[in-house]
Amino acid sequence: MSNGPQLTEEDLIRDAGLSGEQECCEVYVLVDNATKLAIGYSICYKAYSTWQGRYFFVEDIYVRPEHRKRGAGRRIFLEVSARAVELKCPRLEFNVLEWNPARKFYESLGAVDLTAKEGWHYYRVEEQQLSQLANDLASSKS
């Protein structure tokens, strides 16, 4: 895992559909009414499961450190949850690193740790291996 996001502001604007391209994620921003500055955000997208059909996936929730423990994270989570209901999604999913203290916060809102409860593990195929797999497919077709 890298030390931080590799995403640029331009990437986010494009992917959220704000530049006229097709949207592939939704962005929720919580703004401080007094300062008009963003104090937190969430990036989400619609996904699909053969178990229950559509669901809403939360890629990221972030609240600036100076605004934590003041209800900002809860407000963002409630907004995202309401959007999932609006989209008729029966569930909301997200991943949290084991060391992240926000795990207790999510559990307080009713989130269930599926690794602990059901033994699910989350896997990723990184870019280099992904390219190799695509090349393997191309080679097998020739």
For residues 55 and 81, the answer to whether their CB atoms sit within 8 Å is no
DSSP 63-127: E-GGGTTTTHHHHHHHHHHHHHHHTT-S-EEE---TT-THHHHHHHTT---HHHHH--------H
For residues 60 and 97, the answer to whether their CB atoms sit within 8 Å is no
Q: Which residues are catalytic?
A: 106
For residue 91, count other CB atoms closer than 10 A to its CB: 15
